[in-house]
Structure 1
Amino acid sequence: MSDENPLQPPWLNAPPVEEYPYQESHDLRVGPKLHPSLDGLLPYVGVWRGRGRGGFPTIEDFDYAQEIRISHDGRPFLFYESRAWLLDDESRPVRPAGREVGWWRPVLDGERVTDELEALMTTPTGIMELHIGKRTGTQIEFATDAVVRTATAKEVTAGARLFGIVEGALLYAQEMAGMGHSLSPHLSARLIRVAG
């Protein structure tokens, strides 16, 4: 293609792109300044690691370990990433388990930050959940507003999550509905801050 061709793609002959130029941080001491609308969520920013217990009417109970990273890039939302792995009876890793990414953001009323939150959570198993929630002090309660599934995903129809910072630890409980069962306990864990 010649340089005079108006249909020439913009990337042709362009210089290489450098690495992503903006920082994301789970540590409030480094990186971008936390957006003021996130002040109420500040205690959650960090890297958390711990153990939990899971189950559901259609599966056997199980023990797991988990790492949750909650970070920001200076904009008015938090990035949430969770990865878990199953543990055997002697607390040794068995295999990777649940993985999830998402975004939490406060709801604004004009310029005023409310205690209401919106969260979008997605899994590699084909499930996307839109949550609405409310923050009360250091506690957050989410409930699904909508669940979208791929054709091959398990039938998950609703969910609820309760997060809290208790004595410096991140605790949560998660309920799920699906596969013919109403909202039932699914996961609960206690994680300690390891960075941030």
Structure 2
Amino acid sequence: MFLRPSKNVLTNFRFAWTKVPLEYQQGRWIDGVREYFYYIDHNGQLFMDDQRMMNFTSCFKDKQFLAFFFRRLQHTSVDKYKEYFPYTSKCGKEQNYIRCDDRPVVFTSIDRESGEFEYNKSTRSIQFEPSKLCMFPNGRLYHPSPFDNYGLVTSQLADELYAKFKFDSNGKPTHFEWNGETLPLTNELLKFAPQKD
């Protein structure tokens, strides 16, 4: 069961990834499925999509709930939502539609002893692969993820890691220093970087 903010169910008009408004209703039953709508920010924090204030005090913080939620990430298959809410997390008769500032998986901390890369402020993690860190042309840092190919590294964590990068004469990152080793970067994630028009 998901915890819900105590509030009246209202019809909301939201602007998601495009300028086209999408009408939805939190908690509405459609064909035996109850629909909810969420937003993931660039810090990996999860919110109800229609919250007016989105900051640390208003995001979901229960790590077990977050682990449960993010373990069930899928791509949205419902045509009317997938342009604006491209991801879902299903729980029984609840279908939770998700949009995000950048990526659905956001890496938020590294356990330097175990090498575990925690994501979305939950208990979920994967093994950190430093040679696969990749800086996109937009200046953001990414890493392979267990869902949808790659995830975003939070700005705070990216700032901590920045000093460990080595750059070529063109300013492109080529190596990363980790645990006393200088590792060449594969930059294999660049194939997913948005292309400039």
Fold match (TM-score > 0.5): no
Q: Which has the higher strand share?
A: 1
Look at both structures and tell me which one has the larger radius of gyration over its CA atoms.
1
Higher normalized contact order (CA 8 Å, seq sep 6+, divided by chain length)? 1
Question: Normalized against structure 1, the TM-score is what?
Answer: 0.24
Q: Which has the higher helix share?
A: 2
